[in-house]
Structure 1
Amino acid sequence: MWVFTLLLVAATAASVSCQDMWWKSAVVYQIYPRSFMDSNGDGIGDLNGIKMKLPYLKELGVDAIWLSPIYQSPMKDFGYDITNYTAIADEYGTMDDFDALMAEAKRLGVRIVLDYVPNHTSPESTWFKLSQNRTGKYTDYYVWADGKNNDSTTPPSNWISVFRNSAWQYDDTRKQFYLHQFVIGQPDLNYRSSYLREEMKEVLRFWLSKGVSGFRVDAVNMMYEVVNADGTYPDEPLSGNTNDTASYDYLNHLYTKDQNDTYTVVYDWRDVLEEFGKDESKIMMTEAYTDIDLMMRYYGNGVRNGSMPFNFIFLGELSGTSTARNMTTVIDKWIDKMPANTVANWVNGNHDNSRMATRHGVNRVDAMNMLALILPGVTITYQGEELGMTDGNISWADTVDPQACNTLDPVNYWKSSRDPARTPFHWDATKNAGFSNGSSTWLPVASNYQTVNVAVEKAAARSHYKFYKDVVALKHTAAVTSGSLGKTALSDNVLVVTRVPSSASEKTVVGIMNLGSSSETVDLSKVAGVPQTLKVVASGVACTLNNDDTVQRNSVTLPPYCAMTFQNAAATIVAPFLLLIFTSLIQLWRQ
C-alpha cells in the first residue's frame, strides 16, 4: 500500500503545471522576413508569407521562429532603423496580420521570437523628432553633444561608425551632433536616461502581452558610451590595424562598447520577461561581437539572471579548413567558460554573415548542421541552412546593403556586403524560386535555386533537408536534451560526438563525421559511451548507409564528407518492465 501511495504522489507531482523551459534544448529558426515568402507579389517577403509556410517549419521540427525586425521603418537598414517599435512595417503587413500569424503558430505549436533593436531608432521616429526639439522627457532620449570648441563642423570626438566615417552627424534643428554607431539614419538611444530605459521595457511588455516567447537582442554591447566628467566624449586610440581613417577598424573601441552599465540593463530586461513567464519561460538571446569573457557576463552575475549570449565563437572560429580537433577546441572554449546552470547555444550563421554552406563548403553542410543540433543547448538555424543554400552573387548595381554601399567601391564592395546571405529563400524551381510571383524580387535570387530548393530536396532519396529533419528528431530525446557530452577527434578528419542519457531506458545518440576527401574506417570501441551495435537514424548526402541499417562499433566506414547519427540498435525493455510493476501494484492495492 505504501509503495503505491509513493508512486501516486510522484505521478501527481509530475502532473502539476509548472513553467515550461522549452528553449533549453530548442531549435530556433531565424527568418529574414524580406526574403522568406512573398504573399502579394511585390517582391518582398511578408507576414502572410511566413504564415503560409508555417506547416513547412512545423514539419521540419523547429521549436520557434525568430523574426528579424518587422517593425515600422523607412528601411535604410532594412528594419534595423525603427520609427515605431509597436507597429508593423507596411511592406510586411498589418498588426492584424501579425495576430493571425501568432494564432496559426500557436495552433501548430511553433513559438515566435522577435528581434529587439535597443541601440538606435530611425530619425523619422516620433521620439527623435521630440528630442530634436528638446521636448520634455524626450530631450535626452538620444546621445547629443556639441562639436569640439562649439564648432558645428567638428564632431565631438573621433568615433567612427561601424558603417564607415564619423559616428557623429550634425542636426540643424537641435544645433548639436547626434551619435550613430551604425548608419546616419540610426541615431543612438541614450540609456543614461531613466525615462528611455522605462520606455524600452514597455516595448518588451507590449509584445509579451501578445504572446511572443522571447527576444533576440541586437547590438546589445553598443548601448553605452563613456562620458567625461565635463560631459564631453573621449577620443578613442588608434588600433594600428589599418591606415584607412574612415574604417571602423582604424580605432580601438574602448569607449563605445562593452561598458559595465550594459549588463544591468540586460538583467532588468530579464526581470520584465519573468513578469510574463508564469507558464512559459521566455528566451532572451543577446548579440555581442566581443571577447568571450565579456559575452559570458550576459548570462548573469550570480545574483541576477540575464540572457543567453550568441555563441559567436562557434560561428567565427570554425571554417572550411577546421579539423576535427579544431572543432573540439572551439566547443570546449564555450562550454568551459559558461557559468554553472546556464545553457549553451550553437550558431552556424545569420543575416550578417556569409551563409554556412559558403563559409564551410557544401561538403560540410551535413556535418555542421549535425554538430549544432546534437550538442547540448539551443540550436540556431538561419533560413536555408537546412537546404545547404549558398550566398547569391549580387552585382554592384543590385547592392542595397548600406554596409557595402558606404564603401563607394564598385570593385571591392562585396567584401563587406551582407546582401549575398539575404537573397530570397528557395522553395522550388519555378520563377523566383517560388518565393514570389512578382516580376522581380528585392534582391536577385541565387543562380543555383533550380537544384537547391525545398521541392527538389524533399523528393530526393538523400538531401541536406532530409538529413537535417532526421537529426532534428533527435533534438528532444533524453540523450540530447540532458545527456552527458563526449567529443573525440579520432583524426584530423573524423569527429565523434556522444550523448549518453542518465537512464538506461533511453537510447544513446552518436554523431560521427568525416571532414576529409578520403574514405575512413574507424573503430569506435574505445570511444566512451558508444553502444556495441549501432542503428543509423540520420545519414547524410555523402553516406552510403541508409536509415535503420546497423553496424558494429569496431568497424564503421565513412565515405568522404559523410555525416551520420546513430542510436543503440537494441530495443529497450526497461520502460515496459516498470509499467508492468506499476500495473501489478495497482492490482494489489485494489485487492
Structure 2
Amino acid sequence: MKRIWTKHICAVVVLALTSSLWAQTSSAPPVQPWWKGAVIYEIYPRSFQDSNNDGIGDLNGITSRLDYLKVLGVDAIWLSPIYPSPQVDFGYDISNYEAIDPQYGTLKDFDNLVAEARKRNIRIIMDLVLNHTSDKHPWFIESRSSKTNPKRDWYVWRDGKGPGQPPNNWQSDFGHSAWEYDQKTGQYYYHKFYIQQPDLNWTNPQVRKAMYDVERFWINRGVAGFRLDAITTLFEDPQWRDDAVVKDANGNPEINNYGDVKLDDAMTNNLPQVNDVLRDLRKVADSYKGRDVVLIGETYLKSINDLKKMYGANNDELQLPMDMQIGFINKLDVNLFRQRINEVQNDVNGNEPMIVFDNHDNPRWDRYGDGTHNQDIGRVIATILFATRGTALFYYGDEIGMVTTPPTRKEDVKDPVGITGWPKDKGRDGERTPMQWDDGPNAGFTAANVQPWLPIPPSYKTVNVKAQVTDFDSMLNWYKQFIEIRRSTPALRDGRNIMLNTSDANVLSWLRQAPGEPAVVVACNFTAQPQKVSFDLSAQGITSKQAKTLMKTPGSSDPSSLDNVQLPPFGVYMGQVQ
C-alpha cells in the first residue's frame, strides 16, 4: 500500500504497467458500458488552470493537466459550460450552443482536448443547458422583437393579469418574480432563473428539434455524454396556476433568503412531460452505436420514487440521474445515510446509482466538518462515494481537501446569487475558487503578476497538489489509492451493496459482494469518539473472521479479527475478507 506518488510521468508509466499486468493475471471484468462504475471529475473551467495568463481558466489549461487526472484515476471529465455567453451566470446563459467562448479557447482547442484526453483513456462530458438560453441568444432577440416573429413561440410569453401584474406568482430560483415585463411587446416572459435567462418553450417541436441537433453536434465532435442542467424544469403548468405558499409549523408563510414568501414550485418543476424529452434525448444518444453516450441529469428531487422515474420505465431515459438525497443530508446521521443508500441501491430497479456530495452550485464537502476532525470526515465522505455501488462523481479540488471560501464583503461578490441574497446567501463564489496546484504565487493557477478571476484561498499554502503528492497520508493519496483499489477489486467494482449492523447509530457499515470473488467490508465512524465494530457475515454465507486491510484511517491499527475492528474518531476501515 505504501506507494508514494512522486512524479506524474513516472506514475503514468507505473500505472500503465500495473494495468497491463493485472489484465494478464486477472479474469477480465464483464463487458459493460464505460460509465458503469466510472470515476467522473467535474471541472469548473474558469477555475482549473489558466494557460494564457488572463486570470481565467481555459481549455488549454485543462489539457495541460491531463496527466495529473490520468494518474489520479479519472475516467471522464464533466466540463461546466464553455459555450459563448455574456457570463451573467458564468456560462449557464448561452448565446451560441455550437461554439466555444473565446475566454476558454476555440473549437480547435476543444478538439485537441478531446483527442489528448482520449490518448489517456479519459472521456469528455459536456454540460448541456436545455431549459433556457441567454437573452442575448439570436433566438431570443428574434422572439422579443414582435409578437408575430416566427420565433416568438420559442420562449414562454404570457399576458399579465392586469396592469403591472405578472401572469401568476411563480418565482425565480434566484429571487423575486419569474416573470419579466417586455415594454416593446407588452407581454411577460418567463425565467426560472435569472432575468437574462429566458426559458425555452419545450411544447414547441421546433425547439425540441433545435436542441436535439445541438446534442448531435457535440457527439459528432467526440463527446462521451452530457450532464443535463436543470433538466426537471423544462415544463410549466399548462393552466398557469399559482404555486402554493410554504408555511411553517404555526401556519405562517416562510420567507426565503431573498426576502420573498417561499413557494412550493410544483407548477414549474418535475412535470411528467420531462420524461418524454428524456426519452427523445436518449434515442439520439443511443443512435450512435458502440459509443455508449451517457446522459447524466441534474435531478434535485423529493423522493426515491421521483429519482426512479428519471431512469425511465424501460430504462430508456437517464442512465445516471444524480442522487442528491444522500450527499445533501448535510449532517452525519448514520440512520439517514443507511436508509437513503439502501433506497438507491435497492429501489431503482437495479439501475446504476450516482451519489453527489458537492458541485459548483453548493458549498464543498467541508460543510460536514466539525472544525477538529475535518480531514478524517473528508475521508469518510470519500469512502461512501467510492466504496458504495455506483458511478462516482466528485468536484475538482475535493481530492486535496479544498474548502469553501466565501467572500467576506458584498463588494467582492461575483455571483449574482450572492449579490441578490447577501448576507443570508453569499452566492457560489466560495466553491468556485481556483484550483490549488502549489504553494507558489497564485497557487500555480495563473502567472504571479495576474489577478485571478476569484481570489486564491489562504489555505493554498498548505492545501495544494504539490504538498500532497509525496505525503502518503494526504487526502490526494487517499483518493488516488481508493480509486485504484476500486478499479482492481471485483467486489468493489461490480458487487452488490449490503448494509451491516443496521442497529448501530454510530457506525455505518456495509458489505460489497460479487459471485466467486472475495467480499469487502467497510466501516465508517460517524462520531468524534472511538468506536468498536464486530462483523457477523454468516447471513451472507461467510464464516471467515480475517480480512486483508485495503484502506484505513492514517495512524489506526489493522484489526486482529473482524470481531474487533477499532475505529478512531471519524475513522474508516475497509478490508477484503480472506
Fold-level similarity (TM above 0.5): yes
Match for residue 379 of structure 1 among 392, 399, 413: 392
The aligned residue for residue 128 of structure 1 is 140
Letter in 1 for 2:279: Y
The aligned residue for residue 288 of structure 1 is 299
Distance 1:530 1:82, change over 3 A: farther
Match for residue 496 of structure 1 among 488, 499, 509: 509
Distance 1:561 1:76, change over 3 A: same
Kept after mapping to 2: 8 A contact 1:67/1:114 = yes
Are 2:170 and 1:159 equivalent residues in the alignment?
A: yes
The aligned residue for residue 300 of structure 1 is 312
Structure 1 counterpart SS, 2:125: strand
Structure 1 counterpart SS, 2:493: helix
The aligned residue for residue 170 of structure 1 is 181
Q: Which moved more, 1:449-458 or 1:506-515?
A: 506-515
Distance 1:491 1:234, change over 3 A: closer
Letter in 2 for 1:219: A
State the alpha-carbon separation in 1 of the partners of residues 497 and 425 from structure 2. Answer: 42
State the alpha-carbon separation in 2 of the partners of residues 494 and 420 from structure 1. Answer: 31
Over the residues paired in the alignment, what is the CA RMSD in angstroms?
A: 2.3
Q: Which moved more, 1:106-115 or 1:449-458?
A: 449-458
Kept after mapping to 2: 8 A contact 1:354/1:418 = yes
Relative to the length of structure 2, the TM-score reads 0.87
Structure 2 counterpart SS, 1:90: coil
Letter in 1 for 2:38: A
Letter in 2 for 1:471: F
Structure 2 counterpart SS, 1:386: helix
The aligned residue for residue 226 of structure 1 is 237
State the alpha-carbon separation in 1 of the partners of residues 104 and 97 from structure 2. Answer: 14
Relative to the length of structure 1, the TM-score reads 0.86
Please tell me whether Structure 1 or Structure 2 has the larger radius of gyration of its CA atoms: 1
Are 2:92 and 1:94 equivalent residues in the alignment?
A: no
The aligned residue for residue 367 of structure 1 is 380
Kept after mapping to 2: 8 A contact 1:510/1:530 = no
State the alpha-carbon separation in 2 of the partners of residues 538 and 423 from structure 1. Answer: 30
The aligned residue for residue 322 of structure 1 is 333
The aligned residue for residue 23 of structure 2 is none
Kept after mapping to 2: 8 A contact 1:482/1:501 = yes
Deviation at 1:42, TM superposition (A): 1.4
Deviation at 1:36, TM superposition (A): 1.1
What are structure 1's unaligned runs of at least 5 residues?
1-14, 570-591
Kept after mapping to 1: 8 A contact 2:299/2:323 = no
Distance 1:381 1:531, change over 3 A: farther
Structure 2 counterpart SS, 1:203: helix
1:192-231 to 2 correspondences below 5 Å: 192-228=203-239
Deviation at 1:240, TM superposition (A): 2.2
Match for residue 437 of structure 2 among 406, 427, 432: 427
Match for residue 188 of structure 1 among 170, 176, 199: 199
State the alpha-carbon separation in 1 of the partners of residues 441 and 142 from structure 2. Answer: 46
Distance 1:348 1:244, change over 3 A: closer
Identity, in percent, stands at: 35
Deviation at 1:374, TM superposition (A): 1.3
The aligned residue for residue 577 of structure 1 is none
Q: Which moved more, 1:65-74 or 1:279-288?
A: 279-288
State the alpha-carbon separation in 1 of the partners of residues 483 and 143 from structure 2. Answer: 48
Match for residue 356 of structure 1 among 365, 383, 387: 365
**CA-to-aligned-CA distance 1:203-229 (integer Å, 9 cap, x gap):** 00000011111111111111101123x
The aligned residue for residue 418 of structure 1 is 428
* Equivalences, count: 534
Deviation at 1:518, TM superposition (A): 2.8
Q: Which moved more, 1:559-568 or 1:379-388?
A: 559-568
The aligned residue for residue 19 of structure 2 is none
The aligned residue for residue 401 of structure 1 is 415
Deviation at 1:562, TM superposition (A): 2.0
1:487-566 to 2 correspondences below 5 Å: 487-489=499-501, 491-503=504-516, 506-526=517-537, 528=540, 529=542, 531-541=544-554, 543-545=555-557, 551-566=560-575
State the alpha-carbon separation in 2 of the partners of residues 20 and 461 from structure 1. Answer: 33
What are structure 2's unaligned runs of at least 5 residues?
1-26
Structure 2 counterpart SS, 1:217: strand
Letter in 2 for 1:384: G
Kept after mapping to 1: 8 A contact 2:139/2:151 = yes
Deviation at 1:360, TM superposition (A): 4.0
The aligned residue for residue 253 of structure 1 is 265
Kept after mapping to 1: 8 A contact 2:492/2:512 = yes
State the alpha-carbon separation in 2 of the partners of residues 137 and 478 from structure 1. Answer: 56
**CA-to-aligned-CA distance 1:258-290 (integer Å, 9 cap, x gap):** 2111110011100010011x2231211111222
Kept after mapping to 1: 8 A contact 2:83/2:100 = yes
